[in-house]
Amino acid sequence: MRVRRHGWCGIALAVAASGAAAAESGVTLYGVADTYMQYLSNDGKNTVALKSGGSTSSLFGLKGTEDLGGGLIAQFNVETGFNLNNGGLYADTSKLFFRQAWVGLKHEKYGSLSFGRQYDSSFRVVYPTDPFKVNEGLSPFASYVLAVDRNTLSTQYDSARLSNSVLYQTPRIGGVQLYTMYGFSETVTQPVPSTFGNTLNLGVNFTGGGLYAGLAYVYQHSGTARYASLPASIDLMNTEHFVAALAYRIGPVNLQANYSYNRPKGEPAPGSFTARLGSAHSMSIAEVGATIQATSIDEIQLAALYRNVRGAHDNTPGFQIGIDHWISKRTSLYARAGYFKNNGTATVSWPGVSVTEGGTKQAMGAVGMTHRF
């Protein structure tokens, strides 16, 4: 599941009218440039590397709206991610707009309907309750979701975005907003060659009086995946996801918690490679934390997490602390420090770090800079 902080400052590129009856329209270019130096101790093996997107993913995009009259607005958003340290595309080099690519309509009374590659309902529900904003670079929650270990290879994870999708969002009424999303099947070549079935993704949240609460349900139909380290393709099982998220603000402190449970539906076919591998276990992630606005220019993040693979005795407790210091409206410096302890055959670590053996410990420290434009 992922997005990052959306406090972007846009540059208006065009506001045009064509004829007396034309509607006003506008397009905005926006982006983030983020880089950090990371120290990692992977079970005693130490590395130092320059990476991209530690606080907020490095990205740029275009978004636009057109007022069609009568409260109806046409809107679009295309957004790509990139690695600031080497200039390459982020995550999937086969997709120009890996992060978002959608178009739709929005009405002030009836909500919005959009089509394309977009953030899913469950991501929108959990995002406000992760102190590190589900950032793919250094959010421990994202690390736990994206972890690749043998016992959960066939249990599908929520990648936070759905291609070929249709999303309806209600307007917020009495603090409540509903999300209904359906994604059609997709075949990808990166990071692992895979075919995914259709996906239903539903969410609801409430905001008011300092309280935030959300629930989500996801049903992913079956597919296949081909890992280079395995002698054959594995089945991706029909998978259900249940998500609960909660936050409460007390002055400058925002207390946050979330819980997700992923379970495969049914059993692998008897005698299949997936059944012999034993890669279809249920898995849960629990996170508690806080975001503290220590001063007008300093924010502190705290998070403790626990990932548990059911029926396999694999689990990973972990924690992370962070601080962001703003030196202008668009530029900030940050630091992160965290620790994971893998038990059993669990192989969780921060993204981009390969862990091949269970029972390992990871300690991480990072300092970085973010600039928004």
Q: Are 287 and 321 in contact (CB under 8 A)?
A: no
**Tens digit of pLDDT for each residue in 96-105?**
999 999 999 9
Looking at the domain assignment, is residue 311 inside a domain?
Answer: yes
pLDDT of residue 24: 61
* Site of tokens 């270019």: 29
In-domain check, residue 229: yes
On whether residue 211 sits in a domain, the answer given is yes
Single pTM value for the model: 0.91
Backbone CA torsion sign across 373, 332, 363, 159:
negative
What is the Cα Rg of the chain in Å?
21
Q: pLDDT digit string (tens) for 165-203? A: 999 999 999 999 999 999 999 999 998 999 999 999 999
Q: Is the pLDDT of residue 221 over 80?
A: yes
Our count of domains for the chain comes to 1
Q: For 346-360, what is the mean pLDDT? A: 84
Q: Residue count of the chain, please give it.
A: 373
Within a domain: residue 5?
A: no
Distance between CA atoms of residues 181 and 14, nearest Å = 31
Write out pLDDT tens, residues 17-74. Answer: 333 333 467 999 999 999 999 999 988 789 999 999 999 999 999 999 999 999 999 9
Q: Which domain holds residue 289?
A: 11-372
pLDDT at 357 over 90: no
Q: Give the rounded distance of the alpha carbon of 27 from its chain centre.
A: 25
CATH number at residue 180: 2.40.160.10
Tokens representing 225?
A: 């995946």
Query: Per-residue pLDDT tens for 240-263?
Result: 999 999 999 999 999 999 999 999
1 within a domain of the structure (yes/no): no
Task: Tell me, yes or no, whether 6 lies in a domain.
Answer: no
Are the CB atoms for 126 and 216 separated by under 8 Å?
yes
Given a cut of 80, whether residue 9 has pLDDT beyond it is: no
pLDDT bin (cut points 50, 70, 90) of residue 1 is very low
Asked if residue 23 belongs to a domain, the reply is yes
Residue 3 in any domain: the answer is no
- Three-state SS string across the chain, please? CCCCCCCCCCEEEEEECCCCCCCCEEEEEEEEEEEEEEEEEECCEEEEEEEECCCCCCEEEEEEEEEEECCEEEEEEEEEEECCCCCCECCCCCCCCCCEEEEEEEECCCEEEEEEEEECHHHHHHHHHCCCCCCCCCCHHHHHHHCCCHHHCCCCCCCCEEEEEEEEECCCECCEEEEEEEECCEEECCCCCEEECCEEEEEEEEEECCEEEEEEEEEECCEEECCCCCCCCEEECCEEEEEEEEEEEECCEEEEEEEEEEEECCCCCCCCHHHHHCCCCCEEEEEEEEEEEEECCEEEEEEEEEEEECCCCEEEEEEEEEEEEECCCCEEEEEEEEEEECECCCCCCCCCCCCCCCCCEEEEEEEEEEEEC
Whether the pLDDT of residue 8 is over 70: the answer is no
150: pLDDT strictly greater than 60: yes
pLDDT one-digit tens code per residue, 112-134: 999 999 999 999 999 999 999 99
